[in-house]
Structure 1
Amino acid sequence: MNWSVQNIQGSNAQDIASSIETSLRSGELQAGDSLPAVRHLATQLGVNPNTVAAAYARLRDAGRLVTSGRRGTRVAGEAVQMPAAYVVPQGLRDLASGQVDSSLLPQLRAGAWNKLRALLAPQADAGGAAAGELSDDEELLAVTREWLGSQGIPQQSSVGVFSSTLDAIERALRQHARPGDRIAIEDPCWPPLLALLRSLRLRPVPLSMDGQGVQVPAAGVLASCAAVVLTPRAHNPTGANLRADRWRALRKQLRACPNTLVIFNDYWGLISAAPFVAGGSGVNGLPPNWLYVMSLGKPLGHEMRVCMAAGLSDLIEGMRAHFALGPRKVSRWLQGHAALLWRQASKGRGRGSFAYMQSTYAARRQALVMELQKQGVALIDGGDASADGLHLWIAVPDELTVVQAMASCGWAVQAGSPMALVNASAIRISLGAVDKRDAKRLSADLSVALSLQVRAVY
């Protein structure tokens, strides 16, 4: 419906915006309702049109209004939506959901369970209260600091424990950004990140990807963004690793915009053969404003809801304070479990070790890439041996046709459109349920699916 100008009051941009906000909160204004044209409302209120335009811009930047050409200015829809749950149809091999191979995950040795049981008993201080109620597990912090040092990240950095990658990124963005701010992300991207930005009313800025990771944007793009989210290794969905020369070019731009927060999502770090290109000191090291985030879900199992974050003290402490107001803390028992598994999986090269997981996924990837190359199927990385991780990204002529054709052969693959900001027809194949022995049949089936022609039916 069209909203009456009588319901809007004010003589300056702040008062006009507040008047509209009041109607939004009361429910008088609903999603999709039209607001008066700028000049019409300015005439009715007796103010300059620029004043009304500034009020609308303030609400638009906060995600409360949208402008859509001839349709004018309308109330935005609900930003927070439950993400769609992907269910693999019965009888299909799951190459779509992105789960790791559970048979490769480390299993806690019997002797370690006594250590975990001890964490269930609260340690009381002299006053009788539980000591360190909101403190984190010292062993988990210790193994994390050792890891940070091995990656060239300052061990004196502040460290916090959060529930997941999205949890840590959300808290960082709430600390650093405001509704309407621009956030640069890789394109294609991890879909939950895009959903998070929309829920926070932040505006995603796409950074194109190729086989060397994220491409260097035009001058000024990063400076206009409150934050940048990068995947340094095993990018989801392409598998690309960020190359050192590409990072140096990005780092050069970031030196000119010290207020831009760079968030490194290193979810595959523990089982990657590639180096962390931003590690170390000097002009090629970490940018002025940074956050390193590493979830333990992929290397230790998806129910291991523990994520380590390291960064500048003010940012980490703000994130921890915000976390303490809601979930309060990550279970000390879960943290202790993660620390024991991490220590255990870091040793040796046998089954259950990070080294074994790394080599197994790399062998699966290499086998599939070789067979796809024989079939003439092109990957975004060109089959680059340095690509890493769980996913392959393949351009296709028509997503729906290929997804349906692969399903008819018994494979569930993920359509690429939910992962792309700029239109791109592609599919993602995940390696968690693919054995080397499957590579030949899978690549042959995909080659046939790619050859199918879409025919219009009248």
Structure 2
Amino acid sequence: MDHDMTLEITGSSAADIAASVRALIERGALRPGDALPPVRNLADDLGVNRNTAVAAYRQLTTAGVVVTRGRGGTRVADRSAVAQEGFAADSVLRDVATGNPDPDLIPDPSRALAGMAGRPVLYGEPVVDPGLERWARDWVGDDLAPPEVRLTITSGAADAVERLLAQALVRDDAVALEDPCFLTSIHTVRVGGYRPVPVPVDDEGMTVAGLRAALEQGVRAVVCTPRAQNPTGASLSERRAEELRAVLREHPYVLVIEDDHFSMLSRRPYRSLIGPEHRRWALVRSVSKFLGPDMCLAVTASDPETADRLAMRLTPGTTWVSHLLQRLTLALVTDPDVDAAIAAAGAHYAARNDAFAGRLTELGLPTTAGDGLNLWVALPVPARDVSEQLMRRGWLVRTGDEFVLADAPATHRLRLTVHDLSDADAERLATDLAAAVRAAGGRPAPAGME
């Protein structure tokens, strides 16, 4: 922002200065990303004490109107929408960017619904269905090292993560996020007004050097995907998990949130960042990937204090997740036929992704399938150029740019959801992708030369 704009900010009190900045933003004189004047300059221009200008900026930060970036100064907050998972609206293109499970592999709840009759649940009763709690304890119990575990039921994993961060953080607190990152996590941190600190992800998951650097920057929470990381498909190796736990031993009160979203579908073992001595932690497991996105329910296991705070975050709003939904979830996950169907679905996703990765590799685009619903495809040219070429061929894809946190050049990655393509369509997409790379100026490696 130039000096002339500085003169438009008025006021002699913190409240008046903050109101003046908000008015400039509302009428478009200040736009997202614009820098506000340094505190000292603003105080001098307005003839007020420096502490008054500091208080004004603090009010604006608390309200989420501006964000502070250390040496980057104070800037107008970017409230633009973050890309979301799901089908693209009103597109005539074949959408292979959805991140959705295959609807044909989601168990039919009809039989379970027919047997759900029971007495109504009234105010003041336990918020967690006793049967679901017993099942959930078995589901998470063997995977957790801390000696004391409490369970909370939330309306899905995103709901759990949002409330967990809200009970532990205030605006502008730093949060360590994987980079590239799950779109919903980016959205949650932005809406909450927290400061994302990117931690690079490689084939073994969150990197040790990245986590150490984030902790040195003072992050108060870490959000990690232990397996089937979205978008990369990476899962923590045992060696990497042990190294990350060693780093976290020096920071036992940093809140560690593990989003094990793929859980029952995963082809990889669960390995955790959460050591037995860690004091603030939560493991979140949603049912949405294997029972369907409309089953908005997640089990959150956590330390007792975090559980108490999470419960307090629930009380002003939903208070509890519907016991009808809890009973339906329990009926499904304890049905042997549903259990077998979930296992078959997990095998299907892995096989289809492996097959498509093989097709691309044969066409000179070496690809390895990780775990999860998607493929993370490396390209020899910028992904945006390939995406444009694929649109001309009738395909809608997601570029890696949407998932990246750190300031960097355009990515050379696509995230594809291909598990529901027929063999013929998969072959056509692979061929079109190789052609799109060539049209964008890239050269797929000859077969056998990867």
Deviations for 1:130-179, whole angstroms, at most 9, x for unmatched residues?
36446221222121111112434568511111112111111111111111
Matching of residue 390 in structure 1 with residue 373 in structure 2: yes
Amino acid at match of 1:393: W
Distance 1:410 1:168 in 2: 37
Alpha-carbon distance between aligned partners in 2 of 1:172 and 1:269, rounded to the nearest angstrom? 20
**What corresponds to 2:226 in structure 1?**
232
Question: Is 2:212 the partner of 1:208?
Answer: no
Secondary structure of the equivalent of 1:117?
coil
Q: CA deviation at 1:434?
A: 2.6
User: SS of the residue aligned with 1:178?
Assistant: coil
Task: Specify the alignment match of 1:445 in structure 2.
Answer: 432
2:297 is the alignment partner of 1:306: yes
TM-score (norm 2): 0.83
> Given the two structures, how large is their TM-score scaled by the length of structure 1?
0.82
Q: Distance in 1 between matches of 2:278 and 2:71?
A: 43
Aligned-residue offset at 1:39? 3.5
Q: Distance in 1 between matches of 2:72 and 2:151?
A: 48
- Does the alignment pair 1:336 with 2:323? no
Q: Does 163-172 or 422-431 show the bigger shift? A: 422-431
Give yes or no for the alignment of 1:407 onto 2:391. Answer: yes
- Give the drift of 1:72: 7.7
Instruction: Pick from 159, 177, 180 the counterpart of residue 151 of structure 2.
Output: 159
Task: State the AA in 2 paired with 1:204.
Answer: P
Question: Post-superposition shift, 1:439?
Answer: 3.9
Aligned to 1:362: 350
Q: Is the CA contact 2:83–2:402 (under 8 Å) kept in the aligned structure 1? A: no
Does 2:246 align with 1:259? Answer: no
User: 2:117 maps to what in 1?
Assistant: 117
**Relative to structure 1, is the Cα distance of residues 41 and 412 closer, same or farther in structure 2, using a 3 angstrom cutoff?**
closer
Instruction: Describe the SS at the equivalent of 1:208.
Output: strand
When residues 294 and 24 of structure 1 are mapped into structure 2, their CA distance, relative to the original with a 3 A threshold, is farther
Contact 1:38-1:52 within 8 A present in 2 as well: no
Q: 1:44 to 1:453 in 2, by over 3 A?
A: closer
- Change beyond 3 A, Cα 1:91–1:142: same
Equivalent pair of 2:262/2:372 in contact (CA under 8 Å): yes
Pairing partner for 2:183 from 187, 191, 215: 191
Unmatched 5+ residue regions in structure 2?
443-450
Q: Distance in 1 between matches of 2:425 and 2:145?
A: 39
Q: Distance in 2 between matches of 1:440 and 1:286?
A: 50
1:142 to 128, 134, 145: 134
SS at match of 1:275: coil
Could you say what secondary structure the match of 2:397 adopts?
strand
| Contact 2:87 2:95 (C-alpha < 8 Å) held by counterparts | no
Distance 1:6 1:411 in 2: 52
* SS of alignment partner, residue 228 of structure 1: strand
Q: How much does 1:114 deviate?
A: 4.2
Closer/same/farther in 2, CA of residues 449 and 80 from structure 1, 3 Å limit: closer
Cα deviation, residue 79, structure 1: 3.8
Q: 1:270 aligns with which of 259, 264, 277?
A: 264
Q: Which letter does structure 1 place at the counterpart of 2:304?
A: S
Distance 2:90 2:238 in 1: 41
Residues 277 and 437 (structure 1 numbering): CA distance in 2 closer, same or farther, change over 3 Å? farther
Distance 2:264 2:426 in 1: 25
Look up the match of 1:127. Answer: none
Distance apart, 1:194 and its partner CA = 0.8
Structure 2 residue matching 1:98: 3-state secondary structure:
coil
Aligned residues: 425
Q: Does 1:248 align with 2:238?
A: no
CA distance in 1, matches of 2:272, 2:390: 39
Letter in 2 for 1:337: L
Task: Give ranges in structure 1 of 5+ residues lacking alignment.
Answer: 10-15, 124-129
- Counterpart code for 1:272: S
User: In the alignment, what sits opposite 1:8?
Assistant: 12
In structure 2, the residue corresponding to 1:221 is in which secondary structure?
A: helix
Specify the alignment match of 1:12 in structure 2: none
Structure 2: distance between partners of 1:20 and 1:229:
36
Give aligned-pair identity as a percent.
31
- The one-letter code sitting in structure 2 at the alignment partner of 1:275 is P
Rate the CA distance shift 1:216–1:250 in 2: closer, same or farther, 3 A.
same
Is the 1:96–1:428 Cα contact (8 Å) retained in structure 2? yes
Mapped contact 2:97–2:415 kept (Cα < 8 A): yes
* Distance in 2 (alpha carbons) for counterparts of 1:402 and 1:36: 41
C-alpha contact (below 8 Å) 1:93/1:412 kept by paired residues: yes
Distance 1:181 1:77, change over 3 A: closer
CA contact (8 A) 2:204 2:236 kept: yes
Tell me, yes or no, if the aligned pair for 1:95 and 1:412 is still in contact at 8 Å: yes
User: Alpha-carbon deviation of 1:8?
Assistant: 2.8
2:364 aligned residue (373, 376, 382): 376
Q: Which has the larger displacement, 85-94 or 215-224?
A: 85-94
Q: Secondary structure of the equivalent of 1:326?
A: coil
Structural mapping, 1:56-95, within 5 Å: 58=58, 62=62, 63-66=64-67, 76-77=76-77, 79=79, 81=81, 87=88, 90-95=91-96
Asked if 2 retains the 8 angstrom alpha-carbon contact of 1:191 and 1:419, the reply is yes
Q: Look up the SS of the partner of 1:159 in the other structure.
A: strand
Looking at structure 2, the residues matched to 368 and 432 of structure 1 have their Cα atoms a distance apart, in angstroms, of 8
Counterpart position of 1:126: none
Specify the code of the residue in structure 1 equivalent to 2:429: L
1:13 is matched with none
Cα distance 1:326–1:32, how it changes in 2: closer, same or farther (>3 A)?
farther
Residues 81 and 437 of structure 1: CA distance in aligned 2, closer, same or farther (over 3 Å): closer
